[in-house]
Amino acid sequence: MKKVLIYILTTFTILPIFSQNWEYIKNSSAYLYGEGWGVTISEARENALNDLISKIKVQVTGEIKQLESEGVVNDSIDAKREFVSKINTYSQATLTNTQQIIVENEPDAYVVRYIKRSELNRIFEGRKQK
């Protein structure tokens, strides 16, 4: 009985700490964070990291093509003009120093990955110098 009571007290003491940290991070401009959901912790962790990376850098590329053709069909001029526009967005980064909070465990896992903006700035400054 004593072990059960200790477990319950520990659970209700530790969970608010994690919740408080998550709320602080979520509402603080000092952090960037990504959220991820999945059946497993691993899947949610990966999705949270992808969400975080997508917030850090998104590269946009665009391509526009104009195709024209002319010809004579049955003694009349046939002209066609076609425009094709394509926009791609993608994110790419490697972050090895993010922190994580497991908000919900499996089977409906919810994980938050976060990093301080100051740490992120330090990383990118180091990359610029290389």
What is the structure's pLDDT at 105?
92
Q: Which amino acid is at 87?
A: I
CA dist 37 and 77 (Å) reads 58
What is the structure's pLDDT at 109?
95
Report residues of the chain scoring pLDDT below 70.
1-20, 57-60, 88-94, 124, 126-130
CA dist 30 and 99 (Å) reads 14
What is the structure's pLDDT at 51?
92
Instruction: Give the number of other CB atoms < 10 A from CB of residue 98.
Output: 20
CB proximity list for 104: less than 8 A, separation 6 or greater: 110
What is the structure's pLDDT at 87?
77
Predicted model pTM:
0.56
